[in-house]
Structure 1
């Protein structure tokens, strides 16, 4: 068990009392020995006094001291870091549904692989997290507002439809607006729940072409930074993907650089996924990060249990060795 601190360390003052008990026991043993040495008739003493039990006579007292130390540690309130499910958070899943998602460089298609991974992410996310879904191509559409109900999100993921163009900035802006609307409703004394945007796309923004334009992806990432809503980006696909548009084979290479920059500008993280398995691993990792948080929790129970067991051992050994309780 790795301890991180104690909630009530002043209970350790009891160790002074434990030290006094140890000193008192040592003094009592020495005083008893001096009284024995003053007995004038040693032969008679040997007949009337019980035979010395050697070091075993100290076992009950030693166990009693150890139990007092363990119980003192328990009273001091040891704490340890532990992952616990979040009971309040908002996550907007933003998925690219542009025509490039029809590429088959990721089997069976980029879109199908993305749907499978996103579905697993939604179903596995801890119940306390509010999850929303946005799809974007030339425009962005809020398919599901943030909710703890997963069925609607999963159904919307299964019914994603492809469309033309890639307006990455619109997807981020739509997610920011959805988070703000939801936070204004659920925000209480503790303020709005922490929020994050998870953006998955396979290509470069095409609407508008300038990513620093007022509705561009980089501008949206900067706004997300100001609102303290990081954007985690997932660049999905390979450099050799292509789709057929109007009878022509069009290359659809992923744009890792833009996704990395969006993550940096917003204070989020960047992930690269070139296969369906890698995408599932990314989503699984995000599920752990988003769904759980590390807190210092009470860790006194093992000390109480161990201290009680040792105390029972002290009582039992005292009855067995000295026919009395310590």
Structure 2
């Protein structure tokens, strides 16, 4: 589970100042006591109503409204003093989405009609057409190797045409596809991706987590820092695949590189876990949806896994995935200004109502 999702909905930077709320309770108790005393006085000395020393019975509930609003205003201002923070889902700032589409032989399987590859293409096109005009979309074709089939573009017709041109091929290299998508999203990763593709992992710099960077020595401080997984807000990768891979670097190696640069990878599993027997070139084999691999990639990058096992559920998968891309990620935001403004508004309303009804400010 994302650590942000475990945070309380409302927390405080200065929680020790919440003791001031006891003053609000004392004031409320004082008001109740004073009101009861006025009632007893009104009963004992009815003549005092004529000179305004006790409330008139005609005031009714209205005489309680301004004090109650004032107490609520004071409560809101005290909460503001404690500097509250709320965990909110903010609108996405995504500018680029890279779609990686699996074209391996197993994607010819027809456990999803008309086939896995056609279902993936249909889902990808629906997602492209739903993106805001400001978002650029790119397409990576992945089989035994991977290539950029469409550079990121805001022209949806170009992107959907590129998706339609894709045809099944041989082999599956999930790692290759994710690395090509990463370089399309972040060109500065070209060298790291090239080293991974050439199996020269020792040449890839080891990045230190940001949390450990502050405690690192001066000599180690020069090493590249790793971003927090999911922290890159300007782009994301969406992988459509059945999860099986038999070529190129491991998908988790590419996922690790994506996580170190804050890029989220959303994975869409195409197929059924029971699989189907597929005949290719006279050979038969059972091809299944490998959910575990796709879940691991998504979890490592703070993304999310979706499953498409029935073409009729395409809209449901699309809606969930589009919501993730459209709303971005949860973040903790200080909302002190909201509580301060709300308290000031309540205090103003309380004063105006008291002045209007009784000719005085509280």
Query: Could you say whether these structures have the same fold, taking a TM-score greater than 0.5 normalized by the shorter chain as the test?
Result: yes
Say whether residues 1:224 and 2:276 are aligned partners.
Answer: no
| Within-5 A mapping of 1:163-312 | 163-181=169-187, 193=232, 196-202=236-242, 204-206=244-246, 208=247, 215-216=248-249, 218=250, 220-228=251-259, 229=263, 231-238=265-272, 239-242=274-277, 245=280, 248=282, 250-251=284-285, 253-256=287-290, 260-261=292-293, 263-264=295-296, 267-268=300-301, 270-278=305-313, 280-291=315-326, 292-297=328-333, 298=335, 301=338, 304=341, 308=345, 311-312=348-349
Measure the CA separation in 2 of the matches of 1:243 and 1:288. 34
What residue in structure 2 maps to residue 188 of structure 1?
none
Deviations 1:76-132 (CA, angstroms, capped at 9, x unpaired): 464433222221465432111234433332122222211121122233346676542
Alpha-carbon contact 1:70-1:303 (below 8 Å) kept:
no
| Within-5 A mapping of 1:1-326 | 4-5=10-11, 49-50=51-52, 52-53=54-55, 59=64, 62-63=67-68, 65-66=70-71, 68-69=73-74, 72-73=77-78, 76=81, 78-88=84-94, 91-125=97-131, 131-147=137-153, 150-181=156-187, 193=232, 196-202=236-242, 204-206=244-246, 208=247, 215-216=248-249, 218=250, 220-228=251-259, 229=263, 231-238=265-272, 239-242=274-277, 245=280, 248=282, 250-251=284-285, 253-256=287-290, 260-261=292-293, 263-264=295-296, 267-268=300-301, 270-278=305-313, 280-291=315-326, 292-297=328-333, 298=335, 301=338, 304=341, 308=345, 311-320=348-357, 322-326=358-362
Measure the CA separation in 1 of the matches of 2:305 and 2:119. 19
Deviations 1:179-208 (CA, angstroms, capped at 9, x unpaired): 331679xxxxxx9945654332236335x4
Measure the CA separation in 1 of the matches of 2:336 and 2:266. 34
Alpha-carbon contact 1:67-1:308 (below 8 Å) kept:
no
- What is the RMSD computed on CA atoms of the aligned residues? 4.8
Alpha-carbon contact 1:4-1:81 (below 8 Å) kept:
yes
Cα drift, residue 303 of structure 1: 7.1
Alpha-carbon contact 2:144-2:173 (below 8 Å) kept:
yes
Change (3 A) 1:324 1:283: closer
Equivalent pairs, count:
299
Q: TM-score if structure 2 supplies the norm length?
A: 0.60
Q: TM-score if structure 1 supplies the norm length?
A: 0.66
Alpha-carbon contact 1:14-1:72 (below 8 Å) kept:
no
Change (3 A) 1:88 1:309: same
Q: Which runs of 5+ in 2 are unaligned?
A: 1-7, 39-44, 191-226
Deviations 1:138-163 (CA, angstroms, capped at 9, x unpaired): 33120223455544333322332233
More deviation in 196-205 or 54-63? Answer: 54-63
Measure the CA separation in 2 of the matches of 1:47 and 1:130. 74
Measure the CA separation in 2 of the matches of 1:23 and 1:105. 69
Which of the two has higher C-alpha Rg?
1
Give the 3-state SS of the residue equivalent to 2:287 in structure 1: coil
